[in-house]
Amino acid sequence: MSNPVTSETLIRKLKHSVLKNLSDFLDPHDEWKTVLMDIQKPTGEPRYTQLHVRRFQRLVAQGKSPTVELLFDWGTTDSTVGELFEILNRHKLFAPARILLPVYYGFYSVNSRHTPYDETIKQKKRENNPHNTISNISHGIILLCFTLNPGFYTFTFHELTQITKSWDDRPVSAGGSRLGEGGFGTVFKGLLNSTPVAVKKLNLVDDMSPEDLKTQFIQEIQTLKRLQHKNLVNMVGYSSDGQHSCLVYAYMSNGSLLDRLACLEGSTALPWQVRCAVALGTARGLEYLHHQNHIHRDVKSGNILLDEDFIPKISDFGLTRASSKRSCTTVITERIVGTTAYMAPEALRGEITPKSDVFSFGVVLLEILSGLPPVDENRDPKLLMEMKDEIDDEEITLQEFIDNKMEGWDMDCVEKMYSVASRCLSERKNRRPLLKEVLTELEDFI
């Protein structure tokens, strides 16, 4: 059996599979350059220069990983895993740091800069040996570490199997663990000691290659690491060692907006005040994403999750793209993503612009107003977005359109929300408002 990796292990002794795992995190967005810049000679001078950067960069064209090549080069000296680990943590590259060393070293090192919690962690480290699994790590310590450290926990597939009762496929309501099914896999409820979490077990789908799925996986992790907001879902961690990659999120006890509008499992209809707060919170989350130059590309009520206080949290960043660093401009892609019932005309043609998120948000506002599903095969029109024409042509009144199960509404606010929705749903993207304009308008009357 090979020796476990410790901080004293020489980098040149790392297995290729570990290097490959690291490169999955450090190659995209050129994070390897951050590491490279921080590597020093024993004299304290930088080991690498811009010339080296260009040399490693050229290797990409030959299909090589700059991370693997860099570590290979640095490994020719007696550099250690501990040194690399320090660099990764210094730059908040927690996910690759955790690949390198077990969690305790990670928490210990990251928090070792004289925080008042040092002693607790050191004591915990003494009490537990480093090979412990999640079940015998104190829950308090994990939460503490998440609070101090915005990095993610690296679970093993085995740990996630345990906390989801072996992926019990029966719905939670029937005593199982299944929360729902999505485009990329199944979501299970798990209990991390006594704290519930949602575990998304990714599955290969017909039209997606394993490489594409891996890209989505890494993208989701990197996006959630960077972007944090009250109205975006919190990620707890992930696993990438088993036959399925898994993503672990904070559990949203009120499920998705889609399910709550449909009053699934006998839930009561959301009153107008709650619907307004959900619309506003979602707009805040989306405005934050756009402000960070991120386009969600799959805005829909199924991706708006509600916590115990019905605070909306936008989920599924796997499809987001960091657009141009300068501004959110238009990109054309061959791969068309998103759900048709929410897609703007230009998104159907493969164009990526923040204005398509605005359009999809318009559909969500129609759902909030009407309680109707975005698509219904037995309805005329099938697509909810097309109901806008019926209202505009006065074939149905707004009063007829709104959800008759909803309490506490007033016509003035309903009209204002519909007016925002209607402009978001303009066929031509230039006629649609920006998300920040949508937000200002909603804030005005809510």
Ligand X SMILES: Nc1ncnc2c1ncn2[C@@H]1O[C@H](COP(=O)(O)OP(=O)(O)O)[C@@H](O)[C@H]1O
Binding residues, as ranges, are: 200-201, 300
Q: Give the residue carrying structure tokens 């995190």.
A: 25
Which range of residues in 16-24, 114-122, 176-184, 215-223 is near ligand X by CB under 6 A?
176-184
Task: Select from 67, 222, 303, 360 the one that contacts Mg ion (CB under 5 A).
Answer: 303
Residue 259 touches which member of ligand X, Mg ion, none, C-beta under 5-8 Å by kind: ligand X
Tell me the C-alpha distance between 310 and 48, whole Å: 51
Q: How far is the CB of 345 from ligand X (least distance, A)?
A: 22
Q: Residue 198, interface with ligand X (CB under 6 A)?
A: yes
Stretch that binds ligand X, among 129-137, 254-262, 374-382, 407-415 (CB under 6 A): 254-262
* Set 24, 73, 298, 357: catalytic member: 298
Which residues, at least 6 apart from 249, have a Cβ–Cβ distance to it below 8 Å? 197, 198, 199, 200, 233, 234, 235, 236, 315
161 near ligand X (CB under 6 A): no
Q: Which residue from 69, 73, 159, 316 is in contact with Mg ion, where contact means CB under 5 A? A: 316
Q: Is 297 in the site for ligand X (CB under 6 A)?
A: no
Give residue number: closest CB to Mg ion: 316
Q: Which of residues 76-135 bind ligand X (CB under 6 A)?
A: none
**What residue numbers does the annotated binding site for ATP cover?**
200-201, 300
β pairing state of 304-306 and 185-192: unpaired
Task: Tell me the closest approach of the beta carbon of residue 182 to Mg ion, in angstroms.
Answer: 5
Report helix, strand or coil for 337: coil
Torsions phi, psi of 369, nearest 5?
Answer: -70, -45
Minimum CB distance to Mg ion smaller for 217 or for 401: 217
| Phi-psi label, residue 331: left if phi above 0, alpha if psi -120 to 50, beta otherwise | beta
Element (H, E) at 417: helix 411-424
Taking the chain, what is the end-to-end CA distance rounded to the nearest angstrom?
Answer: 63
Does 317 bind ligand X (CB under 6 A)? Our answer is: no
Which 3 state secondary structure label does DSSP give 40? strand
Among 93, 252, 304, 402, binds ligand X (CB under 6 A): 252
Concatenate the DSSP letters of all residues of 88-113 into one string: HHHTT-HHHHHHHS-HHHHHHHHTTT
Per CB under 6 A, does 259 bind ligand X? yes
At position 189, the amino acid (one-letter code) is K
Contact 352, 295 (CB under 8 A): yes
Please confirm, yes or no, whether 168 is among the known catalytic residues: no
Q: Which of 56, 107, 155, 249 binds ligand X (CB under 6 A)?
A: 249
Write out the residues near ligand X by the rule CB under 6 A: 179-183, 187, 198, 200, 233, 249, 251-252, 255-256, 259, 302-303, 305, 315-316
Q: Please report, as ranges, the residues that interact with Mg ion according to CB under 5 A.
A: 182, 303, 316
Residues belonging to the active site: 298
